[in-house]
């Protein structure tokens, strides 16, 4: 049995970021059930960095992550992690009430968010239909995230500080062994003071293995496609476009268009695949809102976005199980909040409490604590 300070279960962005923050001060072993970290949700994300997305706690965690993304530690990545994109929210005339609330919420936290006219929206994205777009607001500082570079940077940081990453390491048993945890996996057996449960859609399953009550995590399928455009250069500077009711989103992606129906279909934890019905719904919505024509799919995929009831991330020790730390419920926000959540995990595990900058923005331990999910 290998002895370590912390076992992190899950090699997606949550576990990798936590390991990155912890490995410089503790002995860390990260266990990934697949043959490569990030196979599931992280590797299937089309992440945007937008400070106007999610509830108040999510937006605060995103804002607190900006500095890291803009200036990561030396050697973290070879290229910038963020590149300019912008995000435009559009609404039909019958969606005005929802649009006004969306704009008010976004502008309150991100002052650079501004209303734009329908005419300006059409100039920014010429494929929008004039009879569809009645209202729009723009977040000019939203950016594309290089998900692969972010994830790989975290993983490299773990090993650079002496941490270990084991793949093909599905956890099969977790039990207390005196004052420590014993974790049996397909890659070996480990003894640790602390378990970090960062298993994404499988977090409740991991908790059950440890005899810990679940937090009501619900994995939800999200579908995406890419398709070719006649003039790839023409779309390069377009912002991402999101329907105000999140019925769809579309954005340029490496010379192609990436689109999603923004579906949230509850699913059990699995290697989720796209459904043809969801793709048909997406194409219909795109044709209603734009002149885009999806003649041939270049690629299609689905990922799981896992939420608890209040759609806020979960981070903290379980009050019923000493040394069992939850890092779960990332939903669609896990990548853009990962630097801040890594700091949260390191601070709470180290007994230092919530970082001051997050406290100043209203993110307390109670806001993220797992116990809130069971009340």
Residues 6+ apart with CB under 8 A from 63: 51, 109, 361
Per-residue confidence (pLDDT) for residue 39, from 0 to 100: 79
- Write the CA distances from 369 to 54, 65, 307, 348, integer angstroms: 18, 20, 14, 11
Question: Token pair of 255, please?
Answer: 């010379």
Residues 137-160 as b or e (16 or more Cβ within 10 Å = b): bbbbbbbbbbbebbbbbbbbbbee
Per-residue confidence (pLDDT) for residue 108, from 0 to 100: 87
Q: At what angle do helices 56-63 and 338-349 cross, to 10 degrees?
A: 90
Q: Which of 309, 307, 344 is nearest to 329 (CA)?
A: 307
Per-residue confidence (pLDDT) for residue 350, from 0 to 100: 96
Per-residue confidence (pLDDT) for residue 43, from 0 to 100: 63
DSSP 37-94: TTTTTGGG---EE-TTSSSHHHHHHHHTTHHHHHSPPTTS-SS-SEEE--EEEEE-GG
In the chain, which stretches have pLDDT less than 70?
41, 43
Per-residue confidence (pLDDT) for residue 254, from 0 to 100: 87
Answer positive or negative: Cα dihedral of 41, 47, 51, 54. Answer: negative
DSSP helix/strand/coil, 4 = strand
Beta-strand pair 28-31/2-9: parallel
């Amino acid at each position: 049995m290998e002895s370590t300070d912390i076992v992190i279960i899950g090699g997606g962005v949550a576990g990798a970021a936590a390991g990155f923050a912890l490995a410089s001060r503790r002995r860390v072993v990260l266990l990934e059930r697949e043959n490569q970290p990030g196979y599931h949700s992280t590797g299937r994300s089309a992440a945007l960095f937008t400070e106007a997305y999610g509830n108040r706690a999510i937006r605060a965690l995103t804002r607190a992550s900006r500095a890291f993304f803009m200036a990561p530690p030396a050697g973290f990545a070879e290229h910038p992690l963020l590149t300019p994109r912008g995000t435009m929210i559009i609404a039909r005339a019958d969606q005005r009430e929802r649009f006004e609330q969306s704009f008010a919420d976004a502008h309150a936290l991100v002052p650079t968010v501004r209303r734009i006219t329908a005419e300006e929206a059409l100039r920014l994205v010429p494929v929008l239909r004039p009879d569809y777009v009645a209202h729009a607001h723009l977040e000019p500082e939203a950016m594309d995230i290089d998900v692969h570079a972010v994830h790989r940077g975290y993983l490299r940081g773990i090993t650079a500080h002496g941490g270990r990453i084991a793949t093909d390491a599905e956890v099969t048993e977790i039990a207390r062994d005196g004052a420590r945890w014993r974790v049996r996996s397909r890659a070996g057996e480990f003894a640790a003071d602390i378990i970090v449960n960062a298993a994404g859609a499988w977090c409740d399953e991991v908790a059950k293995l440890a005899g810990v009550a679940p937090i009501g995590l619900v994995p939800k399928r999200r579908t995406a496609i890419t398709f070719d455009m006649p003039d790839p250069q023409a779309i390069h500077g377009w912002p991402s476009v999101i329907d105000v009711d999140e019925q769809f989103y579309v954005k340029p992606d490496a010379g192609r268009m990436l689109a999603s129906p923004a579906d949230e279909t509850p699913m059990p934890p699995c290697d989720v695949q796209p459904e043809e019905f969801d793709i048909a719904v997406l194409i219909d919505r795109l044709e209603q809102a734009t002149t885009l024509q999806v003649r041939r799919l270049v690629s299609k995929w689905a990922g799981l976005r896992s939420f608890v009831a209040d759609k806020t991330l979960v981070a903290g020790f379980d009050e019923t199980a000493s040394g069992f730390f939850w890092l779960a419920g990332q939903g669609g926000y896990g990548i853009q909040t990962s630097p801040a959540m890594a700091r949260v995990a390191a601070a709470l595990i180290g007994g230092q409490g919530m970082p001051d900058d997050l406290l100043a923005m209203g993110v307390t331990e109670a806001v993220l604590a797992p116990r809130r999910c069971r009340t």
